Structure 1
Amino acid sequence: MTLPESRDFSYLFSDETNARKPSPLKTCIHLFQDPNIIFLGGGLPLKDYFPWDNLSVDSPKPPFPQGIGAPIDEQNCIKYTVNKDYADKSANPSNDIPLSRALQYGFSAGQPELLNFIRDHTKIIHDLKYKDWDVLATAGNTNAWESTLRVFCNRGDVILVEAHSFSSSLASAEAQGVITFPVPIDADGIIPEKLAKVMENWTPGAPKPKLLYTIPTGQNPTGTSIADHRKEAIYKIAQKYDFLIVEDEPYYFLQMNPYIKDLKEREKAQSSPKQDHDEFLKSLANTFLSLDTEGRVIRMDSFSKVLAPGTRLGWITGSSKILKPYLSLHEMTIQAPAGFTQVLVNATLSRWGQKGYLDWLLGLRHEYTLKRDCAIDALYKYLPQSDAFVINPPIAGMFFTVNIDASVHPEFKTKYNSDPYQLEQSLYHKVVERGVLVVPGSWFKSEGETEPPQPAESKEVSNPNIIFFRGTYAAVSPEKLTEGLKRLGDTLYEEFGISK
């Protein structure tokens, strides 16, 4: 079947994007790689002066039979060295990125070897429905989001965001004068009916949204994941009201089976044979990218949560038309993701291969399932057993949340003036005094408003007295995690005057 080309959404580009002219020097940088050209056109240092001749690495060997966190030893180790240069292709069978090229200017879209691996990975994970898609390397999703704002938004423009969203993403938009208007969410993420109502009742004269920014899987901070049928409905709404969907997916491969409270039932489920690659792929949530027939979705992926945050390496997938201004922007800002990082990540992935990388992702699923179960078990054990405290077991990501009905606090009306925010802040400080950190939900709240404003009902919540705290099960050992949640429970028992 012949796939269609993407639509042209350049009418949504920002003034900055429309004003940016290509850097003339970047138009000729590719000639530096041409052996027939004596390149005198740019200030590129001679590679002989790069003080690194090779990079030697030990990394674990697929299929990681002892688990992805097992110590690396001679039995489960891949040893390899990436050199500054290679005489020819036969001297580079693993398709490594030569250090001399990776550490030089150029290749702002990313090194070709790494991009080819990512393209093949993309075809495995997503069912792409238009032909002119591509990928562009980034310095992680924070960089990708900052670039997205600059490519599309002017000061005063409006974007839609989940009612609680990643605070750094909100801050980036607000710093650029972009209005972040909240969309209602529940335990299954964005509510399509509420999104449709927001758009149907959009105030005449207010700027219409250009983008919907969403973290669909293991959402930060709520830990929610958007169900597949909701994604289909949301995509149709985006088509109807002509906004783009920015799919921020750092937690996509941290998907898990639902939490099972009964230990016998859980043990039974965990005794099932390990998933093979096909079963793993079928179990993954559908993506907005896979639904996209027009090039309306901009997907941001990152190695931060699946390899290491310090790699500062990720990629954007979208139509080639949309990626073009990203490349122009990156040529004048980040230049390119760090060369050492691209060399190291590519060398590892090329030796693992696509199947080995899936083995690694399967290992991550197993480890995060154990961490999630440990956290939720401890919450059920140590938190007050009351309808006022609701534990939300996630099916993806790194975060759990606990909802609290502030109105049941004995001093809610007197000491806290019936203000749930005041109680939330007090509880936060009390928990820290106990020696554990969980984060108040208000830190992630989107409160943007248009001019003229939107109808009050567009921001209505079912119970304004509900507050929540976000915690992570990713950062500490099971022992510390359990102790931390015990301290949280002790604080809540004491503060709400509940006897054990």
Structure 2
Amino acid sequence: MIDLTSHLSKEAKRREPSKLKAVLKHRTPQMAYLAGGLPLPKYFAWDSISVSTRHAPFEGGIVGEQTQENALDFTVGYGPSEHDIPLGSSLQYGASKGPEQILAFIREHTDLVHRVPYEDYDIITTVGSTHGWDALLRTLCDPGDTILVEQYVFASAVETAKPLGIKMSPIVMDDFGIVPEILEKKLSNWTGALPKLMYLVPTGQNPTGSSLSKERRQRIYEIADEPYYFLQLDPYSEESAGAKTFKNETDEHFLKSLVPSFLSMDTEGIVIRLDSFSKVLAPGIAKTIRSEYQTPSGFTNAIVYGTLSRWGQSGYLDWLKALRHEYSFKRDMTIKACNKFLPKSANVVVPIAGMFFTIRFDCTRHKEFKTKYSEDPLQLENALFESAIKHDSCLVPGSWFEMVDIDGKHSTEIFFRGTYAATDVQTLELGIERFAKAVNEIWV
């Protein structure tokens, strides 16, 4: 294992353990504990939390109806329970790492899915990936440091790094993610202090929808010496596109179908994985927080753990399999609509993971690119965007995510990001049809 102490930021090196938290070790049943400002649980405002969900294996898919047979209803109170974090603990000030019960479940899940090549790894719960990203940057980077990012980056990741004074250097991407050869060349020709870290979304990349292959991941890890992982979709084919019938598969088959993660390849302890329940359970569980925070919401902890502990590891995998089937179906409907309505000037790469698809255009093939648009891809992109809005179809312009290198040049390949996760199939098809009309209006 590599000692990464030298990689810590000045802020991280200045931090010291909390003395008030350290004294908690003396809080035993026989101790007259007057040290901590922890209110008695009987003063809490809530008596219980009731949760209603469904039992695994989720027959009928993720959108199946709840029945008497598959209903899973439970109440979390203050008494001890095999499957719950009592409210006296979950609503109390807690350890910064998170509740031991949730940490144990996540560690078991990590061992099951990623098979980390070493044992002494650690897990910390946060209120979401953006919170984890912010903490990671503060821990490893100082103002003026450079990090490597993909050519197109989710806006929140950029907006988190910029105020910290961190510079971002983009790595060129193709349809399948960053290109290892370009990464290697970039680092070989690097001058000055090397980048502190590399930030990647290797599976179902946001915004492009690309996914790195196992071979690329291995090469990138060698050179260097992920929130959509479980939204890897079923293989796409025109023959099977739109098959709505949900067929359960074994846990073993499901896990083998996933591209190995960087974490599973990490033998040096240099991979930090930011995972999230937001995309697979519900986004709101990451939002029940204070403006300044140390741990995830106690309500969130109680609800999530109560559900997962009753599902078990196999039941949670059943949920993920059902979710993958639903998104695979909607992905198929998206590609079918794109093939039906979009003109030949548009190119759509079939996503194999995640929630997003992109519709791409080569600006140099527009006959008025040099004249009307002055060879400026942003002008053409904006014309397409405004035309789409006029036709009541809204997709996100790719330039909103683009990280421009020091030469200041934008790519002449533009794209628009859409999602098949946020709407029903009818609206999805209508949006693509309207977008196609907007393209035909501009791309004459």
How would you bin the TM-score normalised by the shorter chain?
over 0.9
Shift of 1:85: 2.9
Shift of 1:460: 8.6
Q: Residue 134 of structure 1 corresponds to which residue in structure 2? A: 122
Tell me if structure 2 keeps the 8 A contact 1:57–1:81: yes
**Alpha-carbon deviations, 1:45-68, whole Å to 9, x = none?**
221110111111111111011211
Q: Residue 482 of structure 1 corresponds to which residue in structure 2? A: 429
Q: Residue 93 of structure 1 corresponds to which residue in structure 2? A: 82
Shift of 1:436: 1.5
Q: Residue 446 of structure 1 corresponds to which residue in structure 2? A: 403
Q: Residue 156 of structure 1 corresponds to which residue in structure 2? A: 144
Partner Cα separation in structure 2 for residue 271 and residue 81 of structure 1: 33
Partner Cα separation in structure 2 for residue 110 and residue 157 of structure 1: 30
**Structure 2 counterpart of 1:93, which letter?**
E
Selected match of 1:472 from 419, 436, 439: 419
Q: Residue 9 of structure 2 corresponds to which residue in structure 1? A: 14
Q: Given the superposition, is the C-alpha separation of residues 168 and 448 from structure 1 closer, same or farther in structure 2, using an over 3 Å criterion?
A: farther
Shift of 1:270: 8.0
Selected match of 2:35 from 27, 32, 41: 41
Selected match of 1:232 from 208, 218, 229: 218
Secondary structure at 1:400's aligned position in 2? strand
Q: Residue 305 of structure 1 corresponds to which residue in structure 2? A: 279
Shift of 1:271: 8.0
Tell me if structure 1 keeps the 8 A contact 2:9–2:140: yes
Matches within 5 A, 1:134-283: 134-203=122-191, 206-239=192-225, 248=226, 250-261=227-238, 263=239, 265-266=240-241, 274-283=248-257
**Structure 2 counterpart of 1:259, which letter?**
Y
Shift of 1:83: 0.8
Shift of 1:479: 0.4
Tell me if structure 2 keeps the 8 A contact 1:304–1:313: no
Q: Residue 51 of structure 1 corresponds to which residue in structure 2? A: 45
Partner Cα separation in structure 1 for residue 404 and residue 20 of structure 2: 43
Tell me if structure 2 keeps the 8 A contact 1:188–1:226: yes
Secondary structure at 1:74's aligned position in 2? coil
Structure number with higher strand proportion: 1
Pair 1:415-2:372 in alignment = yes
Matches within 5 A, 1:284-299: 284-299=258-273
Secondary structure at 1:132's aligned position in 2? coil
Selected match of 2:24 from 26, 29, 33: 29
Tell me if structure 1 keeps the 8 A contact 2:363–2:380: yes
Pair 1:402-2:396 in alignment = no
Q: Given the superposition, is the C-alpha separation of residues 271 and 171 from structure 1 closer, same or farther in structure 2, using an over 3 Å criterion?
A: closer
**Structure 1 counterpart of 2:304, which letter?**
V
TM-score (norm 2): 0.95
**Alpha-carbon deviations, 1:213-241, whole Å to 9, x = none?**
000000000000000011111111111xx
Partner Cα separation in structure 1 for residue 405 and residue 287 of structure 2: 30
Unaligned runs of 5+ in 2: none
Tell me if structure 2 keeps the 8 A contact 1:121–1:354: yes
Tell me if structure 2 keeps the 8 A contact 1:313–1:341: no
Secondary structure at 1:299's aligned position in 2? coil
Q: Residue 350 of structure 1 corresponds to which residue in structure 2? A: 309
Partner Cα separation in structure 2 for residue 370 and residue 102 of structure 1: 38
Tell me if structure 2 keeps the 8 A contact 1:54–1:82: yes
Partner Cα separation in structure 2 for residue 183 and residue 225 of structure 1: 15
**Structure 2 counterpart of 1:342, which letter?**
N
Partner Cα separation in structure 2 for residue 74 and residue 236 of structure 1: 52
Secondary structure at 2:416's aligned position in 1? strand
Secondary structure at 2:169's aligned position in 1? strand
Task: Report percent identity of matched pairs.
Answer: 45
Structure 1 range deviating more: 125-134 or 67-76 = 67-76
**Alpha-carbon deviations, 1:381-400, whole Å to 9, x = none?**
1100x2x3211110000000
Partner Cα separation in structure 2 for residue 335 and residue 421 of structure 1: 41
Q: Residue 321 of structure 1 corresponds to which residue in structure 2? A: none
Partner Cα separation in structure 2 for residue 342 and residue 436 of structure 1: 38
Partner Cα separation in structure 1 for residue 405 and residue 15 of structure 2: 28
Tell me if structure 2 keeps the 8 A contact 1:289–1:299: yes
Secondary structure at 2:306's aligned position in 1? helix
Shift of 1:27: 0.8
Partner Cα separation in structure 2 for residue 192 and residue 337 of structure 1: 36
Shift of 1:285: 0.8
Shift of 1:272: 10
Selected match of 1:393 from 347, 350, 356: 350
Selected match of 1:112 from 95, 100, 111: 100
Shift of 1:448: 5.4
Shift of 1:411: 3.2
**Alpha-carbon deviations, 1:104-150, whole Å to 9, x = none?**
11221111111111111011001211221121111110100011110
Shift of 1:257: 2.5
RMSD: 2.1
**Alpha-carbon deviations, 1:449-472, whole Å to 9, x = none?**
4xxxxxx6xx999xx421111100
**Alpha-carbon deviations, 1:236-276, whole Å to 9, x = none?**
1111xxxxxxxx3x111011133212x3x547x88896421
Q: Given the superposition, is the C-alpha separation of residues 273 and 104 from structure 1 closer, same or farther in structure 2, using an over 3 Å criterion?
A: closer
TM-score (norm 1): 0.85
Q: Residue 317 of structure 1 corresponds to which residue in structure 2? A: none
Tell me if structure 2 keeps the 8 A contact 1:400–1:471: yes
Tell me if structure 1 keeps the 8 A contact 2:117–2:267: yes
Q: Residue 323 of structure 1 corresponds to which residue in structure 2? A: none
Q: Residue 382 of structure 1 corresponds to which residue in structure 2? A: 341
Partner Cα separation in structure 2 for residue 426 and residue 411 of structure 1: 12
Partner Cα separation in structure 2 for residue 38 and residue 400 of structure 1: 60
Structure 1 range deviating more: 361-370 or 305-314 = 305-314
